Amino acid sequence: MRLLKLLVVIAAFGLPAGLVRAETLTVAQHPVADEKAVFATVESTSVVPARGRIGGTVAQLNVREGDRVTAGQAIATIGDEKLVLQMKSLDAQIEALQAQANQAQIDFTRIEGLVERGTLPRVKLEEARTALNVAENGLRARIAERAVVNQQLSEGQVLAPSDGRVLKKLVAVGSVVLPGDAIVTVAQQHFKLRLRVPERHARFLKAGDKVRVDGAELGEEASRWGVIDLVYPQIEEGRVIADATVEGLGEYFVGDRLRVWISGGIRPAFVIPASYVKTRFGIDYVQLRETDRTVDVPVQRGRELPTPALPDGLEILSGIRAGDQLVRP
C-alpha cells in the first residue's frame, strides 16, 4: 500500500520511477598522481657466479641455460690428473710405511722379551720404541696427506651457490679452468622491476610509492600494482635507478622490458567510475541529477586512472563540477 502511494506521488510530480532506485555519486575533486610512463626491466635481486674451487679440466657439465637449480646442487665436475697421480703415489707410500710400522712393532715385541730375560740391554728396547714411533708417525702423516688430496678431488664438484635459474654457461666440457674461475652464473629466484627514471622526476620518487604495470605488458587483462622498495642514491646517465616489487612477474626471462607507470607529482582531478559514462554517436555523456529530473550532460573524457580502490577510474576533464550528483545510467 505504501509503495502504491509512493508511485502515485512520483507520477504526480513527473519523476521517473527508476530514479528512486538509481545509484548516485557526488562529484568531488581528489588528489591523483600525475603518472608518467617509464621503462623497467625484470631483474634478479642478485646474480651470483658458481665458481670452481680447484684448477683442472671440466669433465662434466650437468646444467644448461634456463635450468632451475637449488643451493648445493652439483652442476659441474672438474678433474685434475695430477691429483689422481698424487693419490696413487700416496697410496704406495702408505703401503710401504704400513709395512715398516708392522716390522717395527714386531722388532719392538721381540726386543722387549729379550730385555725382560736379560739377554739384551734396556737401551736396545728404547731404540726399538723410538723406531716404532717414527714409523707410526710417518704413516699417520702420509694418511693425512692423502686425506688432503682426497678433499681436493671432492672439491672438483662445482656447487650451486643459491636457489635460482642458470642464466649463462661460461665454459664447455673440456675447458681448462683455474681455481676461482666462474663456471655458470645463477640468478636468484627473487625478481624485481628495475626502473630507470629521468632525473627531473627524482624528487617525486620515494620508497613506498605505488607503481602500475599494464595488464597487456604481462599478457593479462587487469593491471598489476607494486611498491617501490629502494631508490638508489647514484644517478647514472641522467637517470635515477629504483627497484619495485610486483607480484606475478615472470619466472623465466631476465631482462624483459616492461612499461611502468609511476607518480610524477600530485594534482587535483575529477575521477569517477567509467560505468557512469555512456557514449552516443561518439560523444560522452553523464546523467546529472537535478531537482526533479535527470539530464544528459556532455563531458570530455580524460585518461583512465585505475587505483586499487577504483579499478575502473576515469578522469573527467570538463562538463562536471564539485557537488554534482551523477546517476549511473
Is it the case that residue 147 has pLDDT exceeding 70?
A: yes
> Are 258 and 42 in contact, with CB atoms under 8 Å apart?
yes
Same domain for 218 and 255? yes
290-298 mean pLDDT: 84
CATH, residue 175: 2.40.50.100
Residue ranges making up the domain that contains 223 = 36-45+189-265
Is it the case that residue 19 has pLDDT exceeding 70?
A: no
Same domain for 89 and 219? no
Q: Which residues face 257 on adjacent strands?
A: 41
Same domain for 126 and 221? no
CATH, residue 323: 2.40.420.20
Same domain for 65 and 106? no
The pLDDT assigned to 212 comes to 82
> Are 151 and 49 in contact, with CB atoms under 8 Å apart?
no
Number of domains forming the structure of the chain: 4
Q: Residue 65 has which C-alpha cell?
A: 641455460
Same domain for 168 and 196? no
Is it the case that residue 47 has pLDDT exceeding 70?
A: yes
The pLDDT assigned to 184 comes to 92
Same domain for 175 and 229? no
43-66 mean pLDDT: 85
What mean pLDDT is reported for the chain?
81
> Are 228 and 183 in contact, with CB atoms under 8 Å apart?
no
Rounded Cα–Cα distance for residues 118 and 95 (Å): 35
Task: Look up residue 274 and give its DSSP letter.
Answer: G
Q: How far is CA 181 from CA 170, 240, 275, 280, in A?
A: 9, 33, 61, 68
Q: What is the pTM of this model?
A: 0.50
SS3 sequence of 235-262: EECCEEEEEEEECCCCCCCCCCEEEEEE
CATH, residue 199: 2.40.30.170
Same domain for 182 and 73? yes
Task: For 207-226, write each residue's pLDDT tens digit.
Answer: 888 888 876 666 666 677 88
Q: 228 falls in which pLDDT band (50, 70, 90)?
A: confident
Same domain for 95 and 195? no
Q: 6 falls in which pLDDT band (50, 70, 90)?
A: very low
Same domain for 138 and 41? no
CATH, residue 100: 1.10.287
Mark which of 154, 171, 205 sits at the end of a domain.
154
Same domain for 178 and 193? no
Same domain for 87 and 142? yes
Same domain for 61 and 94? no
